């Protein structure tokens, strides 16, 4: 590598901070961390970006259900995610939050630019909306009238929206996927994108919403907020300062060398993202990689499925490295992998405890027993050494070849092949027999030297994958994990004469059957704890205390309904004409399920009159009718207890 280190910009997707963090959450980040660490040690100037995707109706609603402001809720969730990344040793260079001011400003600029140049235009959008998934579906996509992703109720929604001219970029996108085979990997995802989306024809993309507020306002039409993909995808450039006064990082690191993500969001990264970049006239990322999922049984581990495996628990009980090793080793890269308690424990026992742990304890014990804890220089060689020493010497190249192809489990497999070969070498060379013969001391020295080198080189390489384990191994030889691999990954760096400490147990051997029972018991305890917590949640969540001044900002008045009718194409909404003193207003309310329009006429109601107008299914609503709802879902209009004039103040 030249003095001017080559740059490597790697990103994870930004995470939705709406629920509990689970082992599946950690997958993309741990894989990217190993890649970033490896590249740094190779001498690259690495920029590793991760962060959180914080806007949208789901966040707004989840925060509300907990009686919190969105930002307050988000700060708590993001804090827990950052704790998780600290625990797992994630070496990111920047953590972006889409609620960061610089990001919001840059997104507004990008939106404005795309609008000014005609790539964004206003039109209207109708679809079936699933709030938890924040997705619009066409009627034919629904399954039994419900969301095809999560099976929950959807709402027919029509709104005026802004659209991005995605269709304009169709031919360039087809050319990109067809003629740049390294842009989207693994290859199977190319066919998926071409056959399922690009060749059938792209439609323009709805990029704003006016049905909720928690988002970045559209700069020239603040009734609308920027909808998820322009807000989220642009994080990859705004994090580098694109659209801000200082864009030096953008100039240095863009284009991204690798956008890594789970397969379910490949479409957004390989179609929408390049189209946006084409529109902005920005070079495209070099590679988009869609990895498989970590499954529990046949299902994706996910907070919405409720089948979470807790990385905090696993790390505390079995070590952070055990968790990292499992994630990096067990999931065939690009395909789905499965988590089971047994598979996890077996990896610890077989690979970490038996293969690696035994090699370390046997080697360091023998150097201590036979050479007083001082590593001998190699002396008498035999043919059997060659296979091991050449395997050690070539290990870095094989690991690097795999890492370059993003074959992380295969890279680890190469390291364990050397570890396995070294263990076999002990059985072949029988050092305990050599030790009994004074004439074989030179031979014994070579054997222990080679074993030490196998451990050292393996540990140096492993320092890109694991945190504590390589450091423990290297410390036995008085070494630290190097910042750069350099020639430390080649056979022969130890000179002889180094003090070798007898290693303690690297990993405790686990009685798997007993442990499985303990894990089940712990899972039951955790389930009981969380059920108890849920029971304790008050049915009406407490909202934050407000000052009188906050309350006084509400303009509450008595109104009288003088006309009512259903809102076209909505099953939920009624449109009312409400008399408030001398004034008449249109107010839309979602109570069609509970009231027939005609039975509301003449009723006195309580009205929030100074709520900002909002367009609901094409009707501008100028206020809100106050309602009470009970735990059984019954909803009634709030009315004064006795007849009073419309327009009366409520205080
Ligand atoms: N916010 C979007 C991404 C926007 S990027 C411009 C999002 N967030 S997410 O929190 O749902 O997912 C973040 C990452 O975690 C994705 O790469 C996703 O695939 C990954 N995983 C979440 N659960 C997973 C598994 N069970 N297994 C492997 N990865 C999984 O999508």
* Distance from the alpha carbon of residue 141 to the mean position of ligand 1, in angstroms: 23
337 lines ligand 1 (CB under 6 A): no
d(CA 141, CA 125): 16
Percent of the chain with pLDDT over 90: 74
Locate the ligand 1 atom nearest the alpha carbon of residue 300 and give its number.
26
pLDDT at 228 over 50: yes
pLDDT in tens, 89-138: 999 999 999 999 999 999 999 999 999 999 999 998 788 887 777 677 87
* Distance from the alpha carbon of residue 167 to the mean position of ligand 1, in angstroms: 26
d(CA 435, CA 417): 27
pLDDT at residue 355 in the model: 98
Judging by beta carbons within 10 Å of its beta carbon (0-12, 13-18, 19+), is residue 77 exposed, middle or buried? buried
The pair of three-digit structure tokens given for residue 115, joined into one six-digit string: 């609008």
300 lines ligand 1 (CB under 6 A): yes
Task: Give the contacts of 553 (CB within 8 A, at least 6 positions apart).
Answer: 610
CA angle in degrees (0–180, nearest 5) for 214-219-223? 50
293 lines ligand 1 (CB under 6 A): yes
Q: What is the residue with the minimal CA distance to atom 13 of ligand 1? A: 15
Locate the ligand 1 atom nearest the alpha carbon of residue 28 and give its number.
17
Q: Residue 96 — φ and ψ, nearest 5°?
A: -100, 140
273 lines ligand 1 (CB under 6 A): no
DSSP state of 649: B
Q: What is the residue with the minimal CA distance to atom 21 of ligand 1? A: 25
pLDDT at residue 550 in the model: 80
* Distance from the alpha carbon of residue 639 to the mean position of ligand 1, in angstroms: 47
pLDDT at residue 308 in the model: 63
What's the chain's average pLDDT?
92
**Cα-only R_g, the chain:** 31
Q: Residue 474: which H helix or E strand, with range?
A: helix 468-476
pLDDT at residue 1 in the model: 53
CA angle in degrees (0–180, nearest 5) for 216-621-625? 110
pLDDT at residue 540 in the model: 47
Query: Which of the pair, 561 or 617, is modelled with greater confidence?
Result: 561
Closest residue by Cα to residue 164 from 50, 278, 75: 278
Q: What is the residue with the minimal CA distance to atom 24 of ligand 1? A: 24
Pocket probe mutation, ligand 1, options 11, 15, 298, max atoms within 8 Å of Cβ: 15
* Distance from the alpha carbon of residue 16 to the mean position of ligand 1, in angstroms: 8
d(CA 80, CA 23): 14
Closest residue by Cα to residue 358 from 347, 346, 350, 370: 350
Q: How many C-beta neighbours within 10 Å does residue 19 have?
A: 15
Annotated ligand binding at 26? The verdict is no
DSSP state of 355: I
Is the bond preceding residue 482 a cis peptide, omega within 30 degrees?
no
Annotated ligand binding at 150? The verdict is yes
Lowest mean pLDDT among 213-222, 527-536, 564-573: 527-536
pLDDT in tens, 512-561: 999 999 988 888 887 777 777 655 544 445 566 777 878 888 999 999 99
pLDDT at residue 539 in the model: 46
Query: Which of the pair, 184 or 526, is modelled with greater confidence?
Result: 184
Please measure the distance between the N-terminal and C-terminal CA atoms of the chain and give it in whole angstroms.
73
Pairing state of beta strands 288-291 and 574-580?
Answer: unpaired
pLDDT at residue 187 in the model: 93
70 lines ligand 1 (CB under 6 A): no
Task: Give the contacts of 50 (CB within 8 A, at least 6 positions apart).
Answer: 11, 12, 14, 15, 29, 32, 85, 90, 92, 94, 95, 96
pLDDT at 305 over 70: no
pLDDT in tens, 451-492: 999 999 999 999 999 999 999 999 999 999 999 999 999 999
Q: Residue 259: which H helix or E strand, with range?
A: strand 258-262
Query: Which of the pair, 570 or 169, is modelled with greater confidence?
Result: 169
pLDDT in tens, 232-264: 999 999 999 999 999 999 999 999 999 999 999
Q: What is the mean pLDDT of residues 371-375?
A: 98
* Distance from the alpha carbon of residue 12 to the mean position of ligand 1, in angstroms: 9
pLDDT at residue 261 in the model: 97
pLDDT at residue 617 in the model: 72
pLDDT at 286 over 70: yes
Q: What is the residue with the minimal CA distance to atom 15 of ligand 1? A: 25
92 lines ligand 1 (CB under 6 A): no
Please tell me whether residue 560 adopts helix, strand or coil conformation. Answer: strand
d(CA 98, CA 10): 18
* Distance from the alpha carbon of residue 93 to the mean position of ligand 1, in angstroms: 19
Pocket probe mutation, ligand 1, options 31, 238, 262, max atoms within 8 Å of Cβ: 262
Judging by beta carbons within 10 Å of its beta carbon (0-12, 13-18, 19+), is residue 485 exposed, middle or buried? buried
pLDDT in tens, 440-461: 999 999 999 999 999 999 999 9
302 lines ligand 1 (CB under 6 A): yes
CA 534 to chain centre: 26
Q: What is the mean pLDDT of residues 394-406?
A: 97
* Distance from the alpha carbon of residue 110 to the mean position of ligand 1, in angstroms: 25
pLDDT at residue 538 in the model: 45
pLDDT at 571 over 90: no
| Number of continuous H segments (helices) and E segments (strands) in the chain | 23, 24
Locate the ligand 1 atom nearest the alpha carbon of residue 294 and give its number.
27
- Cα 54 to Cα 87, 149, 157, 367, distances in angstroms: 22, 21, 23, 55
Q: What predicted TM-score, i.e. pTM, was given to this entire model?
A: 0.81
pLDDT in tens, 151-163: 888 888 887 899 9
15 lines ligand 1 (CB under 6 A): yes
**Residue 296: strand pairing partners:** 299, 339
């Amino acid at each position: 590598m030249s003095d001017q280190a080559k740059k490597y910009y790697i990103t994870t997707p930004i995470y939705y901070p709406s629920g509990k963090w689970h082992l599946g959450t950690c997958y993309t980040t741990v894989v990217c961390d190993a890649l970033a660490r490896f590249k740094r040690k190779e001498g690259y100037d690495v920029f590793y970006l991760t962060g959180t995707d914080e806007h949208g109706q789901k966040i707004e609603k989840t925060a509300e259900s907990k009686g919190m402001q969105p930002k307050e809720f988000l700060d708590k969730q993001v804090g827990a995610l950052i704790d998780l990344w600290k625990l797992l040793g994630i070496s990111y260079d920047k953590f972006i939050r889409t609620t960061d001011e610089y990001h919001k400003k840059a997104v507004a600029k990008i939106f404005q630019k795309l609008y000014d140049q005609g790539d964004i235009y206003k039109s209207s959008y109708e679809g079936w909306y699933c709030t938890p998934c924040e997705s619009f579906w066409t009627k034919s996509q629904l399954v039994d009238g419900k969301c095809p992703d999560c099976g929950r109720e959807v709402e027919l929604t029509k709104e005026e929206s802004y659209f991005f001219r995605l269709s304009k970029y169709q031919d360039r996108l087809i050319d990109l996927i067809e003629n740049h085979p390294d842009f989207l990997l693994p290859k199977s995802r190319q066919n998926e994108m071409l056959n399922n989306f690009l060749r059938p024809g792209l439609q323009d993309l709805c990029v704003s919403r006016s049905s909720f507020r928690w988002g970045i306002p559209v700069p020239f039409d603040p009734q609308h907020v920027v909808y998820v993909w322009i807000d989220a995808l642009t994080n990859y450039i705004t994090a580098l300062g694109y659209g801000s006064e200082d864009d030096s990082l953008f100039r240095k690191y863009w284009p991204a060398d690798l956008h890594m993500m789970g397969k379910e969001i490949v479409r957004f990264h390989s179609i929408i993202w390049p189209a946006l970049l084409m529109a902005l006239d920005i070079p495209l990322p070099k590679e988009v990689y869609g990895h498989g999922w970590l499954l529990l049984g046949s299902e994706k581990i996910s907070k919405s499925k409720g089948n979470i495996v807790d990385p905090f628990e696993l790390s505390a009980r079995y070590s952070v490295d055990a968790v990292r090793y499992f994630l990096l080793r067990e999931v065939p890269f690009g395909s789905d992998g499965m988590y089971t308690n047994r598979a996890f424990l077996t990896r610890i026992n077989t690979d970490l405890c038996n293969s690696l742990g035994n090699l370390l304890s046997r080697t360091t014990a023998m150097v201590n027993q036979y050479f007083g804890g001082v590593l001998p220089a190699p002396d008498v060689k035999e043919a059997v050494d060659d296979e091991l020493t050449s395997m050690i010497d070539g290990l870095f190249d094989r690991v690097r070849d795999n890492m370059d192809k993003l074959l992380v489990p295969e890279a680890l497999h190469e390291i364990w092949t050397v570890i396995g070969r070294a263990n076999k070498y002990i059985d072949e060379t029988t050092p305990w027999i050599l030790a009994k013969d004074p004439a074989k001391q030179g031979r014994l020295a070579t054997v222990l030297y080679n074993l030490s080198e196998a451990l050292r080189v393996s540990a140096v390489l492993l320092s890109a994958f694991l945190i504590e384990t390589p450091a423990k191994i290297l410390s036995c030889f008085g070494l630290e994990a190097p910042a750069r691999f350099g020639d430390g990954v080649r056979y022969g760096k130890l000179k002889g004469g180094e003090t070798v400490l007898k290693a303690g147990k690297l990993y405790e051997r686990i009685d798997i059957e007993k442990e499985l029972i303990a894990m089940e018991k712990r899972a039951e305890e955790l389930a009981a704890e969380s059920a108890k917590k849920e029971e304790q949640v008050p049915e009406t969540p407490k909202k934050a205390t407000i000052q009188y001044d906050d309350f006084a900002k509400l303009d509450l008045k008595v109104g009288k309904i003088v006309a009512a009718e259903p809102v076209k194409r909505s099953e939920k909404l009624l449109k009312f004409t409400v008399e408030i003193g001398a004034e008449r207003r249109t107010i839309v309310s979602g109570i069609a399920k509970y009231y027939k329009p005609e039975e509301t006429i003449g009723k006195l109601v309580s009205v929030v009159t100074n709520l900002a107008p909002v367009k609901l299914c094409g009707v501008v609503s100028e206020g809100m009718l106050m309602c009470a709802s009970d735990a059984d879902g019954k909803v009634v209009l709030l009315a004064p207890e006795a007849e009073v004039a419309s327009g009366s103040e409520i205080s």
